[in-house]
Copies of this chain bind each other. A is one copy, B any other.
Amino acid sequence: MSRPSVMQVDTEALCRIADGGAVLGAGGGGNPYVGRLMAAQALAGGKTVPVVSLDEFADDELILPIAMMGAPAVMVEKFPSGNEIPSLVAMMERLMDRKVSAILCIEAGGLNSTIPFAAAAYMGLPIVDGDAMGRAFPELQMVTFTLGGIRATPMAMFDDKGNGATFDTISNKWTERLARALTIEMGGSAMVGLYAVTAGQIRDLLIKGSLTMAHRIGCLMQEHGADAARVLAETFGGAILFRGRVRDVARRNEGGFTRGTLSIEGTGDFRRRDLVLSFQNEFLAAEEDGRVLASTPDLITLLDANTGEPVTTEMVKYGLAINVLGLPCAPIWRTPAALELVGPRYFGLDVDYRPL
């Protein structure tokens, strides 16, 4: 295969992508520690996976997104068995009845930016430099592909025990409903393949360069440690929304999601102020006295104030010193149609979206 690659990803690079992916994951997309473990396993023995620009693929080449679906709080305790990927790939190839040319990350995240590398390594395929969210969102219809009228199905799904299922639905919202019900029954998480697309279908829909961006973020984090939040805000046009200490976390696993709210007591420049964050796998909104500082689809991410590490919604706990980083979402999410799909009102928040 002589396709030119943007980068060759080895275990070390994939650990950076896990960290950067967790920042872009906006509180969700899977735990970066689990992601680093997956990375080490997937690329053990010096294996590498080429990351390739979408431009290098012909219009009719088939691209297969792979992801973990479920509640992040479950995924940190119930690891993939490793057998899901071969089973899933075999099932998707049978469904599509076509050869796959590349793997794609459907969303950014500590896990969902790394799991697809395991699939790519297993299949000996490159991975496309991009994703369908530019962040993580909790529901599977929440991808730019839905805006372009692309169907989520045929979709395949495997659990760690070896149970598999496929779907063929009338809408991406129905795919979400059915797949979510099965994810719960499978124990709270499952490996999925969905939105199989040709390169030609997604030229205007792919959020391009998100893997190299995740890698760059991961490298900046490693370099700057506790100061990473400031550096990332400056580098990517974001802002430090808040600094403080976690005072309370109300978290529950409900309907296949990790949901809840989080309150943070300001420290330093933010003393005597309080921030409340709501989440459904990912952070949805950051509010101070009823004033919204940031909301979905913009990215709200927590970084540990002492280490600079991303703190996901299933891991955040009482007493943790954190920086709340806001980053602008990809421009495609700011259209009215996109806001209907992923804006604050979809999630039941009585708030108009105001861009960061």
Contacts and interface: CB of A to CB of B under 8 A. Distances in A.
Contacts of A165: 165-168, 178, 182
Contacts of A186: 178
Contacts of A174: 161, 163
A285 to B, nearest CB: 28
Nearest to A170: B162
A356 interface: no
Contacts of A264: none
A309 to B, nearest CB: 36
> What is the copy number of this chain in the assembly?
2
A307 interface: no
Contact of A181 (B161, B167, B169, B185): B185
Contact of A177 (B164, B167, B185): B185
A91 interface: yes
A231 interface: no
Nearest to A168: B164
Contacts of A161: 170, 174
A184 interface: yes
Contacts of A91: 168
A64 B245 CA distance: 61
Interface string A312-324: 0000000000000
A164 B167 contact: yes
Contacts of A169: 162-164
Interface in A172-231: 174, 177-178, 181-182, 184-186
Given A163-B169, A163-B178, A182-B182, 14 more contacts: A161-B174, A162-B169, A163-B170, A163-B174, A164-B168, A164-B169, A165-B165, A165-B167, A165-B168, A166-B166, A178-B185, A181-B182, A181-B184, A181-B185
